[in-house]
Structure 1
Amino acid sequence: MEPVITLIEQLTTLCNTVDTAEGIDGLTAKLKGLMPEYPFECVLSRGNWHRLGGVVDGDYRQVSDNISHWAERESQGDVDTLVAKYMGMGYFATRLAGNTHYFTAPTGRGPQEFLQLEIEELQQVVDRPLVEHDWFPDSIEEFLDPLDYPRLEPEPVGKSYYRFRRLTPIDKLVTEKSAGNDAHRKLQRFFNDWMASSACESEPFCRHWVLALREFTDRDGETRINAKPVSVFSGQLPDLPSANRLSGAELANAVHGYDRVLGYPFAWYFMMLGSTASNYTLADAVLQDQMGAYDYLPKRDLKVLREWETKPYGV
């Protein structure tokens, strides 16, 4: 494996040069050309998020691509000066409408042995008039992101583009961050359960799940990463079978049917772990069946489920 810093530089350049008009298939082909040893596939795209953009004039010509830096420079610390300076000039603030594409590539047999690549697809759109008469923000922060302010139709400004976000060796993340962190211990157990169950007989874990990663600063000022498994199932996820209404053969058919829809064995169990605790009654109902006349779980899955019963957890 090449040094990660080299890969990051190459990926940054690739994202800056690939045209979004080529689509995800075109981007995937370029990734495979850059790193043929890693079988990257786009497994999930998550959109409907945005962040602050820049400033454009009345003809949508770019004034600045970063409104935060621009406002600090132009205001010289006085938001009233900034508002007065640009009143009546017809400028607009923009935002970046985003879509994150998750690419994964297995690097070993273990469920946590994969690379996760996140690439953002960004489109600058008009958000609001930069300043309005009778609007007097109290601070630069309010100027940048006002709560009560007339918004405009998000008309595109320029072309959409890709931007490299992050490349994460998940096995390294889990190994280095697990000690002393309850959330990471649960994540490691999630991976262990996958490996111990019939789910591992299907495609690699990273073809069915990604990790939503969120950086935060703890009380000691250290940067930490919170990782939560997210299913890559496309479309509306089906509801988990109801433990209150089903049992026996009906429950067996329901959990196996759920697995078929999700595309891998024991899917209901892993989806249960990522859902609300109210769904844990499903595990209790399945175990109750296994204690009676029913035997519809593979032995390895039953072992995992009984260990969960002894010490329940969720992710």
Structure 2
Amino acid sequence: MKPVASYLRQHPALEEVVATCQPTRNHSALLDHLRREPALAAARLATTRGDTWLHRRKVFGADGTLVADDHEAWLAEQVARDGGNVRATCARLDNAGYRLSQCKITTLYVVAAGHSGTPSDFLQIEVDLEEEVLDRELRPGGAWRMPRTLDELQREADQGLELPLAQRLPVRPRAYRLRRIVDVEAWLQVADAMEDARREAICGRRYRVTSSETPGATIQTPDELFPGWDRFPAKHRRFFRDWRRSSAAPHRLCDQWVLKLTDWTDPRDGRRSLDMVPMWVFSRPLAKVNAAKGSDYEFYGTLEKLDRRTGVTFGWFFYMLHGNRVEADAGRRVIRAAEAGTIVMPECDYRVLKDWEAEPYGF
């Protein structure tokens, strides 16, 4: 069994409570249940993300009865029944009237801010809203290419004709599923420790450097070859640090951003990697900023307008780090304008921008 990550908060009874909660349009009942946990008393829905599906599909017979919960495992059984003859399995299943379900997932990002005021001091509760319906016919032999192996059959089984809208009926009631509760600061500490180990390993490296101008070779360290390579923290930590040292600091970060956090271990070599991608929670349309348009004053006014719309001073900088509303050219133009005196900006924000210019980062 895979060990539970140290940054995940365990609330054993909450998983069942969430699963039995009846979904509502505004998810108010779910939030009420979550807030009964003392650590989640301040929980609020930040945003939702959809357009994902469970890979696993259920199999239903022609009469609508459930045949199997996992289409891949069931197909393996069917091929074994035919002595490993995939072509025979396809021919047998093609006219049997089997259908596959599809489970659409909408992920709810709920946040509960801590009391320290630190941008990373919050819990991120991820709840999946599952909606499963009959989706398509199981016609493996009707694919553009007949599957030759079990693996191909499993991968191409969901290529059958999509059912008409009137037949895409629910196979079970909509339901919540608690995915995880992440202590964001604890996640960052794990990521920091891994980054420290990576940098220590780099420091131990030695490079043999040759030159066409001088004979022989010299042995140099990373500091000698790449001065200042470790001047800045990793981007996952830098995002929060820049928030705290900029004009955005009075605003709670988790009111504006949630995080797509991954923790993956390569099965081939056991190497573990953590990754973070910020996702804005602003739900209304945002116009894209054109960094080549207007005078410096007019251009900077456009960025300030974005800040007013989203409710965060210097918020445009963080949209520049991730997203398609503000391009990196905007940051460079603001620096040039500030240094030319055509715009006036807070010194703290200018320093953040200058550090970004010295070592750009983004997600």
What residue is the counterpart of 1:172 in the other structure? 186
Equivalent-residue separation in structure 1 for 2:183 and 2:362 (angstroms)? 23
Question: Which of 120, 125, 134 pairs up with 1:117?
Answer: 125
Moved more, 79-88 or 108-117: 79-88
Q: RMSD of the alignment, in Å? A: 2.8
What residue is the counterpart of 2:161 in the other structure? 150
C-alpha change, 1:10 and 1:130, in structure 2 (3 Å) is same
Equivalent-residue separation in structure 1 for 2:163 and 2:278 (angstroms)? 35
Equivalent-residue separation in structure 2 for 1:142 and 1:274 (angstroms)? 37
Equivalent-residue separation in structure 1 for 2:111 and 2:152 (angstroms)? 39
Q: Deviations over 1:76-112 (max 9, x none)?
A: 3834454355443311011211111111111232111
Percent sequence identity is: 26
C-alpha change, 1:50 and 1:216, in structure 2 (3 Å) is same
Question: Deviation at 1:125?
Answer: 1.8
**In the alignment, structure 1 residue 104 sits paired with structure 2 residue 111:** yes
Instruction: Give secondary structure in 2 for the equivalent of 1:200.
Output: coil
Equivalent-residue separation in structure 2 for 1:70 and 1:20 (angstroms)? 30
Moved more, 188-197 or 13-22: 13-22
Is the 8 Å Cα contact of residues 273 and 314 (structure 1) preserved in structure 2? yes
Question: Which of 207, 222, 229 pairs up with 2:278?
Answer: 229
Mapping of 1:172-251 within 5 angstroms? 172-178=186-192, 179-180=194-195, 185-202=234-251, 204-218=252-266, 220-239=269-288, 241-251=289-299
Moved more, 63-72 or 90-99: 63-72
* Structure 1: gaps (5+ residues): none
Equivalent-residue separation in structure 2 for 1:74 and 1:35 (angstroms)? 50
Equivalent-residue separation in structure 1 for 2:126 and 2:8 (angstroms)? 15
Tell me the TM-score normalised to structure 2 length.
0.77
Mapping of 1:1-315 within 5 angstroms? 7-21=10-24, 23-35=26-38, 37-52=40-55, 53-76=57-80, 78=84, 79-80=86-87, 82-107=89-114, 108-131=116-139, 134=142, 136-146=146-156, 148-153=159-164, 155=168, 156-178=170-192, 179-180=194-195, 185-202=234-251, 204-218=252-266, 220-239=269-288, 241-275=289-323, 279-315=327-363
* Structure 2: gaps (5+ residues): 1-5, 200-232
Aligned length: 311
Question: Deviation at 1:44?
Answer: 1.0
Instruction: Give secondary structure in 2 for the equivalent of 1:127.
Output: strand
Greater C-alpha radius of gyration? 2
Is the 8 Å Cα contact of residues 126 and 153 (structure 1) preserved in structure 2? no
Q: Which amino acid aligns with 1:118?
A: E
Tell me the TM-score normalised to structure 1 length.
0.87
C-alpha change, 1:70 and 1:132, in structure 2 (3 Å) is closer
C-alpha change, 1:124 and 1:143, in structure 2 (3 Å) is farther
What residue is the counterpart of 2:225 in the other structure? none
